[in-house]
């Protein structure tokens, strides 16, 4: 024992000469220490009702309740935490895991009252004396976290390894990576309401964490029969509302979905999903188009036992997923994994058959109990500026269809793409690859009305296009494609000052004094796609009702005013795979109800 330890007890005698401290009013004159764990505070505007506080509370002292004036909206459950101080042990774990840092503890700890119900309140809603106090327990700033806010990186091909081929870029998670990423999920469920298909996202992520892939696969198929496809090209709006994204990176929900689907071999799909026996019905349903909406409807209708036949105008199934999305994003063998299950369930597809030409709509009406039209947006839209009639001006949709069909297409040294959406990025990156293969260099420029901050394409698409040496030059409006002596020379543009008016309507404004010229041998227009509904005869069109924007009006189950005819997918809600899948599912439910009601009459 050291001399210091021997002397230390005697140091207590120094307190003999100090004045005693007496707290005369301990209820009102005894504040807690600066970081004392007192009663809760909550910033209601920052709180999203994710429930992380409730989940971690082992005393069940916190429950989420609705609050007047707070509406459920995208990324906000509309609920707020209610604290029961008869159960609370002041551990502050709720504060430490709060995904938005809205929840704190004041250092106010005394409260006298006779009504036990008063000790249950909603911090930030029920006004309390300590609401404005700045002292108390907040999440420490010394870099310790109970949650992992950093996303597990996805392995991708480098630009140098991918810019001359159409090989898939994203490699997918390993088991360890997937489980580490799944472990980040706090199961708030905000993603479910945002997903158009309302997939059970926390449930299938939990299955990854528990290494129960078969269970995760079943969860995917409850609302999404195209998981290989959706796990690669979904617009993943669910990730934009992920609670983890408020303080770090949102969960890689799309890649986790893909991980599950990748683990199941195509031959095992039916066995895992327990679909070996379907009780067949006599009723028949015709589906026009084999895109996401058509395939989704076919899957759920076959599960119900209906005889389903898809009429497809092109040589293979998949719609714009096969004929509009490059293989570096969606390999066609993975596309076929999802489609083959639907075929193996007994769905028939009649290829190279165009409705209105090879078979009339009237014939379908006579031969089938219901018809679901999901024909997609295959027709490109033109800017109609001077010069668009030149032979070297193309539509992105047409070129992508030829590229994905392995047809030879014109590849020129200088290419200009008009458009800033995902389709524009697809054709930009595809042409860059073809240029690189042919010339050993890339000279592709993509320009759009929208500025950099509001380009409609996914940010990853824009970043990867630039990595592949394409030039993205946003904020310009095309005015003329310059033609000299019959030869295309390039595109004249003027600066776009704004795209939308104060009401959000499309009303671009330009500065005619701020112009530029982009040299090009070839111009590709990619400003959107339109529907070709020429297959619908006038007699049927007269039965249909239309929205103010000219789209066919349908109900919540995508049934039109011609009761036997349902519409869904891109022609109703615009180009988005997950919306198409959700449409097909709801349409299948509506078709089943319609047929059953018809049979009773």
Average pLDDT over every residue of 128-141: 88
- Nearby residues of 539 by Cβ (< 8 Å), 6 or more positions away: 362
Q: Are 470 and 446 in contact (CB under 8 A)?
A: yes
**In a shared domain, residues 173 and 234:** yes
What distance in Å separates the CA atoms of residue 509 and residue 570, rounded to the nearest whole number?
29
**In a shared domain, residues 113 and 42:** yes
pLDDT tens digits along 275-305: 988 999 999 999 999 999 999 999 999 999 9
Judge whether 302 lies within some domain: yes
pLDDT tens digits along 206-264: 999 999 999 999 999 999 999 999 999 999 999 999 999 999 999 999 999 999 999 99
**In a shared domain, residues 522 and 561:** no
Partners of 445 in beta bridges: 416, 471
Judge whether 83 lies within some domain: yes
**In a shared domain, residues 384 and 400:** yes
**In a shared domain, residues 500 and 571:** no
Look at the chain and report how many structural domains it folds into.
Answer: 4
What distance in Å separates the CA atoms of residue 263 and residue 281, rounded to the nearest whole number?
33
Q: Is the pTM of this model over 0.95?
A: no
The CATH number of residue 208's host domain is 1.10.1060.10
pLDDT tens digits along 514-545: 999 999 999 999 999 999 999 999 999 999 99
Angle 292-303/577-600 helices, nearest 10 degrees?
40
The CATH number of residue 307's host domain is 3.50.50.60
Q: Which pair of structure tokens corresponds to residue 557?
A: 């189950």
Average pLDDT over every residue of 466-484: 97
Q: Which pair of structure tokens corresponds to residue 535?
A: 């297959």
Look at residue 297 in the predicted model and tell me its pLDDT. 98
What distance in Å separates the CA atoms of residue 369 and residue 599, rounded to the nearest whole number?
10
Region of 346 on the Ramachandran plot (φ > 0 left; ψ -120 to 50 alpha; else beta): left
pLDDT at 114 over 90: no
- Nearby residues of 582 by Cβ (< 8 Å), 6 or more positions away: 196, 197, 198, 223, 296
**In a shared domain, residues 522 and 484:** yes
Using alpha carbons, select from 328, 321, 527, 519 the residue that is nearest to residue 434.
328
**In a shared domain, residues 384 and 486:** yes
Average pLDDT over every residue of 392-415: 96
pLDDT at 7 over 80: no
Domain that holds residue 232: 159-271
pLDDT at 411 over 90: yes
Average pLDDT over every residue of 190-213: 96
pLDDT at 142 over 80: no
Number of CB atoms found within 10 A of residue 494's CB: 17
- Nearby residues of 4 by Cβ (< 8 Å), 6 or more positions away: none
Look at residue 110 in the predicted model and tell me its pLDDT. 83
**In a shared domain, residues 197 and 254:** yes
Average pLDDT over every residue of 320-326: 95
**In a shared domain, residues 365 and 458:** no
* Strands 370-373 vs 565-567: parallel, antiparallel or unpaired: parallel
**Percent of the chain beyond pLDDT 90?**
87
Judge whether 192 lies within some domain: yes
Token match 């076959």: residue? Answer: 302
Using alpha carbons, select from 460, 431, 458 the residue that is nearest to residue 444.
431
Query: Of 101-105, 111-115, 158-162, which range is least confident?
Result: 111-115
pLDDT at 1 over 60: no
Q: Band of the pLDDT at 157, cuts 50, 70, 90?
A: very high
pLDDT at 24 over 60: yes
Q: Which pair of structure tokens corresponds to residue 433?
A: 């690859």
**Percent of the chain beyond pLDDT 70?**
96
Work out the angle at residue 170's Cα, subtended by the Cα atoms of residues 164 and 174, and round it to the nearest 5 degrees. 140
Look at residue 431 in the predicted model and tell me its pLDDT. 98
What phi and psi values does residue 527 have, to the nearest 5 degrees? Answer: -110, 15
pLDDT at 94 over 80: yes
Look at residue 19 in the predicted model and tell me its pLDDT. 75
């Amino acid at each position: 024992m050291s001399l210091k330890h021997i002397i230390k007890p005697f140091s207590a005698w120094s307190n003999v000469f100090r004045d005693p401290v007496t707290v005369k009013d301990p209820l009102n004159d005894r504040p807690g220490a600066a970081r004392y764990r007192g009663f809760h505070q909550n910033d209601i505007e920052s709180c999203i009702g994710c429930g992380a506080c409730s989940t971690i509370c082992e005393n069940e002292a916190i429950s989420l309740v609705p609050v007047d004036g707070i509406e459920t909206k995208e990324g906000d459950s509309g609920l707020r935490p209610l604290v029961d101080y008869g159960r609370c042990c002041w551990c502050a774990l709720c504060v430490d895991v709060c995904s938005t840092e809205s929840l704190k503890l004041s250092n106010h700890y005394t409260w006298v009252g006779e009504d036990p119900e008063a000790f249950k309140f909603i911090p930030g809603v029920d006004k309390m004396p300590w609401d404005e106090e700045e002292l108390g327990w907040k999440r420490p700033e010394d870099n310790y976290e109970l949650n992992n806010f950093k996303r597990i990186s996805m392995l991708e091909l480098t630009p140098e390894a991918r810019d001359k081929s159409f090989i898939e870029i994203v490699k997918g998670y390993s088991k360890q990576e997937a489980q580490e990423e799944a472990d980040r999920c706090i199961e708030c469920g905000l993603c479910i309401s945002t997903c158009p298909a309302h997939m059970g996202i926390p449930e299938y992520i939990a299955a990854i964490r528990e290494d129960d892939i078969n269970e995760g696969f079943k969860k995917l198929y409850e609302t999404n029969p195209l998981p290989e496809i959706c796990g690669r090209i979904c617009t993943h709006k669910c990730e934009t509302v992920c609670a983890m994204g408020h303080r770090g990176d949102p969960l890689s929900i799309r890649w986790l979905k893909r991980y599950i689907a990748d683990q199941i071999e195509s031959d095992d799909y039916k066995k895992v999903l327990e679909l070996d026996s379907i009780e067949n019905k006599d009723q028949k349903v015709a589906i026009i188009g084999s895109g996401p909406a058509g395939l989704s409807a076919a899957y759920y209708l076959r599960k119900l036992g209906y005889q389903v036949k898809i009429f497809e105008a092109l040589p293979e199934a998949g719609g714009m997923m096969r004929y509009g999305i490059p293989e570096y994003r969606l390999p066609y063998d993975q596309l076929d994994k999802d489609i083959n299950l639907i075929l193996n369930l007994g769905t028939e597809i009649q290829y190279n058959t165009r409705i209105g030409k090879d078979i009339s709509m009237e014939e379908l009406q006579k031969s089938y109990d219901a018809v679901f039209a999901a024909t997609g947006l295959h027709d490109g839209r033109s800017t109609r500026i001077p010069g668009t009639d030149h032979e070297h001006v193309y539509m992105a949709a047409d070129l992508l269809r030829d590229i994905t069909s392995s047809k030879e297409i014109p590849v020129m040294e200088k290419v200009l793409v008009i458009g800033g959406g995902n389709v524009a990025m697809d054709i930009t990156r595809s042409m860059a690859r073809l240029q690189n293969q042919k010339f050993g260099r890339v000279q592709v420029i993509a320009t759009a009305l929208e500025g950099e901050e509001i380009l409609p394409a996914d940010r990853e698409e824009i970043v990867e296009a630039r990595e592949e040496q394409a030039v993205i030059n946003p904020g310009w409006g095309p005015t003329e494609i310059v033609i000299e002596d019959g030869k295309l020379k390039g595109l004249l543009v003027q600066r776009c000052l704004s795209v939308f008016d104060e009401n959000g309507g499309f009303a671009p404004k330009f500065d005619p004094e701020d112009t530029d010229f982009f040299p090009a041998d070839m111009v590709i227009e990619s400003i959107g796609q339109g529907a070709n509904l020429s297959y619908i005869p006038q007699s049927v069109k007269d039965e249909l009702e239309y929205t103010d924007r000219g789209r066919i009006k349908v109900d919540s189950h995508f049934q039109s005013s011609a009761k036997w005819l349902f519409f869904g997918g891109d022609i109703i809600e615009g180009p988005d795979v997950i919306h198409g899948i959700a449409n097909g599912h709801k349409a299948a439910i509506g078709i089943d109800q319609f047929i059953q009601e018809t049979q009773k009459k």
